[in-house]
Amino acid sequence: MRVINLEQLKVILGNLPANPRIVASGNFATPTVLLEAANSEIAEFRLNMLGAQKGIPDREGITFETSFVGPGMRRSPRLNYVPSRLSLVPILFRDHFRPDVVFLHTSEKRHDTVSLGTEVNILPAAIEACRERGGLVIAQANPNMPYTYGDAQIYEHEIDFLIEVDEPLMSKEPTPVGDIAAEIGSRIADQVENHSTLQLGIGAIPDAVLAALVKRKGMKIWTEMFSDGVLEMYKNGALDEDQPLTASFLFGSRELYDWLHLNKSVRLLRTEKTNDPGQIAKQAKMTSINAALEVDLHDQANASFVRGEVYSGFGGSTDFIVGAMHARGGQSFMALASWHEKAQKSTIVPQLQENVTSFQHSFVATEHGLAACFGHPEKEQARNLIAIAHPDAREGLYGAARQMGLL
In the chain, where are the structural domains located? 2-164, 179-403
243 burial via Cβ count (<10 Å: 0-12, 13-18, 19+): middle
Q: Tell me whether the CATH fold assigned to 2-164 matches the one assigned to 179-403.
A: yes
Q: Is 119 a residue of the active site?
A: no
The superfamily (CATH) of domain 2-164 is: Glutaconate Coenzyme A-transferase (3.40.1080.10)
Q: How many whole angstroms separate alpha carbon 386 and alpha carbon 373? A: 12
| 185: enclosing H helix or E strand | helix 179-189
Torsion sign, CA atoms 155, 51, 364, 84:
negative
Q: How many whole angstroms separate alpha carbon 83 and alpha carbon 301? A: 16
What pLDDT shows up at residue 292? 92
- Please tell me which residue in 224, 272, 294, 354 is annotated as part of the active site: 224
Torsion sign, CA atoms 338, 313, 203, 308:
negative
Quickly list DSSP for 302-336: E-SEETTEESS--TTHHHHHHHHHHSTT-EEEEE-
Read off φ and ψ for residue 101, nearest 5 degrees.
Answer: -140, 145
170-218 pLDDT, tens digit each? 998 777 889 999 999 999 999 999 999 999 877 788 889 999 999 999 9
The superfamily (CATH) of domain 179-403 is: Acetyl-CoA hydrolase/transferase C-terminal domain (3.40.1080.20)
- Given a contact cutoff of 8 angstroms between Cβ atoms, the answer to whether 224 and 315 are in contact is yes
Task: Say what the pTM is.
Answer: 0.94
233-269 pLDDT, tens digit each? 999 999 999 999 999 999 999 999 999 999 999 999 9
What pLDDT shows up at residue 146? 98
- Given a contact cutoff of 8 angstroms between Cβ atoms, the answer to whether 294 and 354 are in contact is yes
Per-residue pLDDT of the chain (407 residues; tens, 9 = 90+): 899 999 999 999 999 999 999 999 999 999 999 999 999 999 999 999 999 999 999 999 999 999 999 999 999 999 999 999 999 999 999 999 999 999 999 999 999 999 999 999 999 999 999 999 999 999 999 999 999 999 999 999 999 999 999 999 999 877 788 999 999 999 999 999 999 999 987 778 888 999 999 999 999 999 999 999 999 999 999 999 999 999 999 999 999 999 999 999 999 999 999 999 999 999 999 999 999 999 999 999 999 988 889 999 888 899 999 999 999 999 999 999 999 988 899 999 999 998 888 889 999 999 999 999 999 999 999 999 999 999 999 999 999 999 999 98
What pLDDT shows up at residue 174? 72
| 80: enclosing H helix or E strand | strand 79-81
